[in-house]
Amino acid sequence: MTISTEWQLAREAAERYQQILVPAILGPAARALVDWSALKSGESVLDVGSGTGAAARYAAELVGLSGRVIGIDLDAGMIQVAKSLSPVNGAVIEWYEKSAYELPLKDQTIDVVLSAQTLQFLKDRPLALSEKYRVLKPGGRVVVSLWSDIEENPYFDILADAISKHVGEETAASLQAIFSLSNADEMRALLESAGFTNIEMTVKQLELELPELKDFVPRYISATYMATGFNAAEQAAQQAVIQEVSAQLALYESNDSITIPFRVNLAKAVR
Ligand SMILES: C[S@@+](CC[C@H](N)C(=O)[O-])C[C@H]1O[C@@H](n2cnc3c(N)ncnc32)[C@H](O)[C@@H]1O
């Protein structure tokens, strides 16, 4: 594969992420994280693992023109899409294709570090947290969101079961991986070990209205790492997943719409 084809694939995947996952699920979840971080006008904010920038763009509105917002992500496609989105009415956002393990910032320069649904994917979580600690000013805060247990997130739980049953456990594993840091005590211990103090944790339940599931479920899968395994499965297996998820989530339907609870753990701590 040539580099330009790889780049194109990364860009297309990021566009699907932005068009499908962000409006329905990740966008509202990012806003909940930013709301909980209680940003003030003029603050400097770093969004680590920004994806296409849902949290960073909302943060830029809140800190305003006197603030500073920086988004970093390892994925070139995510950063390209983030850069392409309309500027917000607020701080200018600086985007960098960089790793959470090597933040492109000097020591003690940032007021708030955000991490929206990213820390669970990082193998070396202590290193990622020590980098956040390094760039925060004394008294600055780190604010992290992670999904609560999969059993508390019926959309993901039912989808993972259906994928595992009809497509395969390997394909379901990439969905289950988003819950690999759902234990609040584990998150607290990581923050303590990194030197953070005044640790606060809370659980936020989002009530998200999703599009009709028969359309949304295959679109959702197409924007995730499950796409390859799902596309390789027989049509009958794909249909079985969609039918099963729609049927099992029908209890959340009312008046022609469907509103499903999604639960996130939020952690906030001070350097
Ligand atoms: C589930 S997405 C969340 C994106 C965004 N924060 C949101 O809420 O929409 C996880 C992000 O972490 C990024 N990521 C994974 N490993 C990373 C690393 N080592 N350094 C920086 N970003 C990383 C991925 O590229 C991806 O954009």
CB-ligand 1 contact for 115 (6 Å cutoff): no
Over residues 222-238, the pLDDT tens digits come to 999 999 999 999 999 99
CB of 224 closer than 6 A to ligand 1? Answer: no
Taking the centre of ligand 1 as the mean of its atom positions, its distance from the CA of residue 176, in whole angstroms, is 16
Band (88; pLDDT cuts 50, 70, 90): confident
Ligand 1 pocket member 100 (CB < 6 A): yes
Instruction: Give the model's pLDDT for residue 1.
Output: 47
pLDDT over threshold 70, residue 6:
no
* Distance of alpha carbon 147 from the chain centroid: 9
Average pLDDT over residues 6-18: 84
| Mean pLDDT of the region 144-155 | 98
Q: Which atom of ligand 1 is nearest to the CA of 49?
A: 22
Q: What are phi and psi of 17, to 5 degrees?
A: -55, -45
pLDDT band at 141 (very low <50, low <70, confident <90, very high): very high
What's the whole-number mean pLDDT along residues 157-186?
97
SS3 128: helix
> Average pLDDT, stretch 64-74?
97
Residue 7 confidence (pLDDT) above 90:
no
94 vs 89: which has the higher pLDDT: 94
Percent of the chain whose predicted confidence (pLDDT) is above 70: 97
Q: CA 44 → CA 48, 199, 232, distances in Å?
A: 13, 20, 45
Average pLDDT over residues 148-157: 98
CA distance 4 to 13: 14
Evaluate whether 245 touches 114 at the Cβ level (below 8 Å): no
For residue 256, pLDDT over 50 is answered with yes
From 41-45, 103-107, 164-168, 224-228, the region with the lowest mean pLDDT: 224-228
For the Cβ of 79 lying below 6 angstroms from any atom of ligand 1, the answer is no
C-alpha 169 to ligand 1 mean position (Å): 23
pLDDT category of residue 10 using cuts at 50, 70 and 90: confident
Average pLDDT in the chain? 95
The pairing of beta strand 68-73 with beta strand 44-48: parallel
